[in-house]
Amino acid sequence: MKRFFLFLSCFLISNYIIAQNVQSESAGMTATADPVGKAPEIAIIPEPVSITKNEGYFVLPANVVIQSPAAAELKQVVAFLQERLSVPTGSFISNVNTHTPTANIKLILNDKANHQLGSEGYQLSITPNFITIKANKAAGLFYGAQSLIQLFPKEIESKEASTGTDWKAPCVEVTDYPRVGWRGLMFDVARHFFTKAEVKQYIDAMVRYKYNLLHLHLTDDEGWRIEIKGLPKLTEVGAWNVKKIGEFGNFIPPTADEPRNYGGFYTQEDIKELVQYAKERFVNILPEVDVPGHSLAAIASYPELSCTAGAETYRVRSGERIMDWSRGAPPIALLDNTLCPANEKVYAFLDTVITQIAQLFPFDYIHMGGDEAPINFWEKSDAIKALMQKEGLKNMHQVQGYFEKRVQKIVESKGKKFMGWDEILEGEMSPSAAVMSWRGTKYGIEASKKKHEVVMSPTTYAYLDYMQADAITEPKVYASLRLSKSYEFDPVPVGVDPKYIKGGQANLWTEQVYNIRQAEYMTWPRGMAIAESVWSPAEKKNWNNFFGKAEQHFKRLDIAETKYAPSVYDPIFTVSRSADKQLMIDLSTEVSGLDIYYSFDNSFPDRFYPKYTEPLMAPKDATTLKVITYKGKEAVGRMMSMPVDELSKRAPRR
């Protein structure tokens, strides 16, 4: 999922890119924003249910008094406002727990529940004299505070005092509540390890856009990232591989003498700290242990969990090729990365793992993977053949179904709910198994009709590891996903009963993500688009409005020193051949209001160079097309150097 076709040849990658370019050009023509003109004064992401702008402004005084109930769950809401308002402004922020006429900001928990708001909704009122946030629950006050911060000038995002800013917020009346309850981001900490501090940083970023679920992908072929007492090799062996930098999936296999010291894991105390940190920010953490496939780190630690002889020679993967995807899914495994469904030791192992995970994570669900399990080693296994005969299993789908059902029983015996990727549907699971639909929305719709709980996280809209612009600027992955396409995500598609849709989620797989800065780059701004899709009413979504707001948030992220992708400004290349076989190059943009300037002479164009107005024909001996986009007199796109040979490869032959 995630990684589907990651190891295909460059030829196939190019085919994906060509198809995406055509699709993106179409998207750019039908869903464009006009970034030219006055920036919107109110730029709340995600878009509230209703917002009314009134006359006047609230001006933040030098001494701010926050009035709030004494409830323990409100401590973090107050602490959030104190930090965010005091650091950049230099104002003194105090807190009182009783009514006082001097309060500038009032946090109020409703005595009588407003059923429209639910547990996460809020009402925000800003007048020239004071600010009031009302909610039924503390989470609603927290989300109201997030919207409030977005109404102050962008300098509010500074990590140090900012002088010369007029600290005012427009007078508004906001009523707001989420469309769906499950608003998630998946963070793959298995492919590349991210420290406890970095996970906290990711949580801090996601709550700004009202996400409430962090899905941690804790295990895979490249690493086992959680301490399990009684199974020390999982972290002594399974958490470490050989450091490789370059194009994941194509690394040269490590030699025996290369040090295996790259990676890491979370102790159980680390996990408790992360769970508490997330809870204080109204975020649940969903743990995932990916089985039976993607289990090489576990097998390298405990070879007896495999069906296959010789597993004792296996090592944690460092990014070398271990699967052949040339025939599609399921892949052909070059070594057996699956736990053995016919081995009772596997179920004892998983009982130990799940017992401890259930104790560490208070969230109702445990995600047990279930995706992309290769079957070619199972087909050769005498143990699997004996299991099939004993249990009356007719094919490998039923073999995996047998495994999933046993794992589900273990999960449920710990008082938790079982969740898996949509492949688990092939095993005829009971309706009590929740499904995360990643292969488009088709399988989520199918699961809902079978009365499974469903979380929509389709590759079509929500895979944040996909390239955001042309492959010449992005880490090579097998497909592309532009911002405008992500914004089309609907977590409750036509054809489903909404009561079975828990919500939606975007997934950041990290095969090609080596550090937290790149994780930020891949998440934002597409994470903003998904946030608006899962929070805002469907009828309130509007691409033009969203992108106008997103541009304001780019400035906020700059000040916050959060990395993001400016890919939405990059030109889109579409190539063809004329009747006389000349290479023709069409340039377009994902958003309107931009000018494209270009050169073929190896120099770097600016706005004094030729402006693109019609399809280009590459000069006979030209080797490189350089392009850049401007909004008026300001360069907004990146300088892109496109080899003419690459364009020629993409052009269909007549």
CATH number at residue 274: 3.20.20.80
pLDDT profile of the chain (654 residues), mean per 10: 43 41 36 52 96 97 94 93 96 89 93 96 97 98 98 96 92 98 98 98 98 98 98 98 92 95 98 98 98 98 96 97 88 96 98 98 98 96 98 96 98 98 94 97 95 97 96 90 98 93 98 97 98 97 96 97 97 92 94 96 97 95 97 96 95 79
Provide CB contacts within 8 A for 327, sequence distance 6+: none
What was the pLDDT predicted at 579? 85
Of the candidates 226, 207, 364, which has an alpha carbon nearest to the alpha carbon of residue 283? 207
Of the candidates 266, 452, 276, which has an alpha carbon nearest to the alpha carbon of residue 362? 276
Of the candidates 457, 555, 450, which has an alpha carbon nearest to the alpha carbon of residue 496? 450
Residue 15 inside a domain? The answer is no
Judgement on whether residues 222 and 273 belong to the same structural domain of the protein: yes
Here the CATH number for the domain that contains residue 103 is: 3.30.379.10
Domain count, the chain: 3
Q: What are the tokens at 463?
A: 């895979």
Judgement on whether residues 317 and 382 belong to the same structural domain of the protein: yes
Residue 565 inside a domain? The answer is no
SS3 520: helix
Contact 329, 372 (CB under 8 A): yes
Residue 581 inside a domain? The answer is yes
Judgement on whether residues 327 and 428 belong to the same structural domain of the protein: yes
Judgement on whether residues 78 and 197 belong to the same structural domain of the protein: no
Query: Which candidate in 155, 176, 188, 220 is catalytic?
Result: 220
Residue 3 inside a domain? The answer is no
SS3 328: coil
Query: Which candidate in 372, 453, 511, 532 is catalytic?
Result: 372
Residue 592 inside a domain? The answer is yes
DSSP annotation of 292 = S
Residue 2 inside a domain? The answer is no
What was the pLDDT predicted at 38? 63
- Please, where are the H alpha helices in 502-542? 516-523, 526-535
φ/ψ of 301, rounded to 5, equals -80, -40
- Which of 136, 158, 176 is the last residue before a domain boundary? 176
- Domain of residue 159 covers 50-176
Place of tokens 């992908």: 217
User: Is 220 tagged catalytic?
Assistant: yes
- Which of 503, 528, 560 is the last residue before a domain boundary? 560
What was the pLDDT predicted at 328? 81
Place of tokens 């609907």: 490
Query: Which candidate in 192, 215, 217, 294 is catalytic?
Result: 294
User: Is 372 tagged catalytic?
Assistant: yes
Q: How many CA atoms lie within 13 A of 112 on its CB side?
A: 0
Judgement on whether residues 242 and 332 belong to the same structural domain of the protein: yes
Judgement on whether residues 307 and 446 belong to the same structural domain of the protein: yes
Judgement on whether residues 496 and 355 belong to the same structural domain of the protein: yes
What was the pLDDT predicted at 481? 97
Judgement on whether residues 167 and 201 belong to the same structural domain of the protein: no
Judgement on whether residues 384 and 287 belong to the same structural domain of the protein: yes
Residue 29 inside a domain? The answer is no
User: Is 294 tagged catalytic?
Assistant: yes
Judgement on whether residues 480 and 420 belong to the same structural domain of the protein: yes
- Which of 560, 595, 616 is the last residue before a domain boundary? 560
Per DSSP, what are the bridge partners of residue 419? 367, 434
Contact 305, 298 (CB under 8 A): yes
CA angle (68 as vertex; 65, 69 as ends), nearest 5: 150
Per DSSP, what are the bridge partners of residue 420? 435
Judgement on whether residues 487 and 519 belong to the same structural domain of the protein: yes
What was the pLDDT predicted at 323? 94
Per DSSP, what are the bridge partners of residue 369? 291
Judgement on whether residues 324 and 426 belong to the same structural domain of the protein: yes
